[in-house]
Structure 1
Amino acid sequence: MATPEMRKDTLRRLRAGSGKLATAALKSLDAEHPWFSDLPAQERSWVGSVAQAGINSFVSWYAAPGESYRSATEVFAAAPPELTRSISLQHTLSIVRTVVKIVESHSDEFASPGNEQHLREAILRYSREIAFSAAEVYARAAESRGAWDARLEALVIDALVRGEVGDDLPSRAAALGWKPGPTLVMVGKTHGPLGEVQSAELRRHMRRVAPGSLVGIHGEDLVIIARSDEDRTKLAEELMPSFGPGPVVIGPEAVTLAEVARSTRAAFTGVAAAPAWALTPRPVGADDLLPERVLVGDAAARDRLMAVAYDPIVKAGGSLQETVATFLDCGRSLELASRTMFVHANTVRYRLKKVAELTDWDVLSTRDAHILETAFALGRLRDAAHAPL
């Protein structure tokens, strides 16, 4: 049994040899763990500080075992919080095991005669406390990081919705794991109001389906921004169950953060405009709702609709513009349009086919005719506003 004199002598020896133990621990880390050798110099110094603090903390604990919890926790105060980001809990526990192994292997050298077994038992008890302390440090860091990431994610989504792509937004998005590339944007409603637990579970599910995705929950509005390196349609189908009842709108394809912002705004206005089209598919593309988005005051939709459904027909020249305008003004009747233009109905049909090839919208289709009719109305208003008096 260890006597007070034995403990005092062992403590003196441990204090004198703490530097030697720390050096031996670092050499062992270098030899046994390749990941340690690959660390940058700054992070290696952090690990060295933790190893030295672990040995010093054990010495303090051995002197006053009643303060074990405080001593164990102080080990990780030697390194900055960034350590938990750059070094995993598994690697940290490897550091702990290595330090414990080194101290234990030198126990006969530092223990006073007859106190060897007592010192080894003390090392074992303290190693358990250090392991629990490490797990607690990482748990607190994860909780803090999760709360910070949620706030940062909300800020990024809000900036994208408002179109405020400042100089700092790319770095903020990158901190959340987003990288430029083919991106799918989806906007819809949640399955009713979500509490913190449901919101966290929804985010976890989204990231399992689409790693690196950004998820915004604003009331009952749900925004998903996910990398779509492969099949956008398949990814959208996998994400659909996360949305509640109501329209779900897919924004235009995007790659850069500025394009993602435009896509997000288009999808948001698409959700607001979707009720104007009674047969809105689910999901529906934001560009399939251009006429409805114009009705809710979306200036970007107005400009795009003219750019893709009016300007190409005007620039094509010939009689395409006249034919489309006459067909629409004649109640979408081939016969009436042909009589008005003094041409055969097949000529009208041929010209309208050329328009479909040019714009991908077939004016003989009810929905496509509505799109072209809205585009022509907007184009005429714009042309009239710019016409000389």
Structure 2
Amino acid sequence: MTGRRQHPSEATSRAVERSAGELSTLASQRMDEHLRWYRELSAEERSQVGLVAQAGISQFIAWFHQEESHQPSAISIFANAPQELTRSVSLRQTLDLVRTVVDVVESRVESLAGPGDEQLLRESVLRFSREIAFAAAEVYAGAAEARGAWDARLEALVVDAVLRGEADDSMQSRASALGWGDVADVTFVVGSTPTVPGGAVPAVDDLRRAVRQHRVEALAIVQRSRLIAILGGTREATRVVEDVADCFGPGPIVVGPTVPHLFAAGRSARAALSGLAAAAAWPDAPRVLESDVVLPERALAGDPPARRILVERIHRPLAAASHAPLLQTATAYLETGGSLEASARALFVHPNTVRYRLGRISEVTGYDLASPREAWTVRIALALGRLAATPGPTTAAATASATSAAGPAPSEARRTRAEPRQRRTASPDTAAQGPLEETSKLSTPNS
């Protein structure tokens, strides 16, 4: 609207001023009749919304009396509103509130405005409602910015606690503040940070928006060159990550195992980070891979959980007494380079028997020896199982150390105590002779 605002007549100003209480009451009634969200608020929240409406009307009346050059400013309308109100009442609902108050004032224009002031009053209401809308947007933007900065800090603390395996009370309170207290089916995902304008913040925001389209909760941070995400509320984390893989930088993206809740996510984090470190050993690895797929690389890199999983999944079932032929067949098949005939000759069985046992091995372990990748995994698992079952030099050294610490055996102790007495009674010549010679000399006089 252009031009200068005309000054209202004294009669119009007094009528508008006297109608403050009536307009506030009508606004509350109108909101209760037409706004469902307002009826669903608690009594305290409805009272707070009513105070905002009253403040808006009071500010309009005060502004309506100002000089013509004075620009309206309704920012103070929300000054007394508690910050928590922005959580229970959205910006859209606030605009509904503004629209309701404007409608109430416009409906009373004919009775409030003096002769010739009707158009002036309508235009003044519209100008002031515009300022209220901008003020509301400013309040909500400030609240969102402060909440976003605080939430980002909480996210970083929660993810850091997951990385360190600290599922304590402080982590629980922070997770609850982020709305993660009851989130189930949690998966840890890690990849490289993309190179995007603006640094880490746009990368994290892009990942959150992409994941939110799948209706999946996400905590995300950038840690040095790694983009880390914790997904919640899905058992198909790998499929979701494949759809949002463009949000990560180049290189592999490793998905850890899905755990029941956030407080068990440390296990998923350790597996995913170990998988990312070991993925370089597999040149043909897919871009998105689960941490279990690189178990052999993780075992070679010295990851104890990976070694334990391989032994538990493959070697221990095959080493059971009931599956002894399967272990022999797996060993022979791997040692002969995957040849049925050579394996059959080594085992003195028919090739069909070898073929049947290979099928049983796949059923028992879940790994198909006909696949080169899975056969290599089984070979490493069997080697790790044999190492775990065979005492090594470390075990022998530990046994010797324990024996020396416990002292000499009883027979050795008696022999050690008898040796000094024997040396004292023997002559120098006798002591210098060997045992057989000493015995023969002692027996000669008797003969």
Taking structure 1 as the reference length, the TM-score comes to 0.82
Q: Is the 8 A contact 2:254 2:289 kept in 1?
A: yes
On the 8 A contact 1:185/1:260 being kept in 2, the answer is yes
Query: Residue 78 of structure 1: which of 66, 77, 80 is its match?
Result: 80
Question: Are residues 1:218 and 2:223 paired?
Answer: yes
Which whole-Å CA distance do the structure 2 matches of 1:377 and 1:383 have between them? 10
325-334 vs 154-163, which moves further? 325-334
AA aligned opposite 1:376: L
1:54 to partner: Cα distance: 0.9
Deviation at 1:26, TM superposition (A): 0.6
Contact 2:207 2:244 in 1 (8 A): no
Equivalent of residue 102 in structure 1, options 91, 101, 104: 104
- Indicate whether 1:186 and 2:189 are aligned: yes
Shift of 1:154: 2.9
Which residue of 1 is the match for residue 275 of structure 2? 270
**Residues 1:257 and 2:262 are matched in the alignment:** yes
Q: 1:165-212 deviations in whole A, cap 9, x for unaligned?
A: 334545644655656344554322233366246423443334335553
Q: Deviations over 1:142-182 (max 9, x none)?
A: 33333333333333333333333334545644655656344
Kept in 2, the 8 Å contact 1:72–1:133? The answer is: yes
CA–CA separation in structure 1 for the residues paired with 2:167 and 2:262: 7
Shift of 1:24: 1.7
Matches of 1:278 and 1:240, distance apart in 2: 19
1:137 corresponds to: 139
Which of 289, 312, 315 is equivalent to 1:307?
312
Matches within 5 A, 1:243-254: 243-254=248-259
Residue of structure 2 equivalent to 1:355: 361
Of 208-217 and 349-358, deviating more is 208-217
How far has the Cα of 1:43 moved from its partner? 2.0
SS in 1 for 2:244: helix
**Equivalent of 1:372 in 361, 378, 383:** 378
**SS state at 1:303 partner:** helix
Secondary structure at the aligned position of 1:213 is classed as strand
1:75 positional shift:
0.7
CA contact (8 A) 2:238 2:255 kept: no
Alignment of structure 1 residues 164-183 onto 2, 5 Å: 164-169=166-171, 172-173=174-175, 176=178, 180-183=183-186
DSSP 3-state at the match of 1:134: helix
The answer to whether residue 298 in structure 2 is matched with residue 296 in structure 1 is no
- Out of 24, 28, 31, the position equivalent to 2:30 is 28
Count residues in correspondence. 386
- Which residue is 1:287 aligned to? 292
- Alpha-carbon distance, 1:324 to partner: 5.5
8 Å contact kept, 2:338–2:370: no
Q: Could you give the per-residue CA deviations for residues 64-118 of structure 1, whole angstroms, max 9, x where no partner exists?
A: 466655x500111222222222222221111112222223333455556775554
Amino acid at match of 1:42: E
Q: CA deviation at 1:363?
A: 3.4
Cα distance between partner residues in 1 of 2:35 and 2:134: 22
Choose 1 or 2 for highest CA Rg.
Answer: 2
**Which runs of no fewer than 5 residues in structure 2 stay unpaired?**
400-447
- The runs of 5 or more residues in structure 1 that have no matched partner are none
Residue 125 of structure 1: aligned partner: 127
Task: Determine if contact 1:323/1:348 at 8 Å carries over to the other structure.
Answer: no
Shift of 1:56: 1.9
Alignment partner for residue 46 of structure 2, among 44, 47, 62?
A: 44
Query: Retained in 2: the 8 A contact 1:2–1:114?
Result: no
TM-score normalised to structure 2 length:
0.73
CA shift for structure 1 position 234: 4.3
Matched AA of 2:312: A
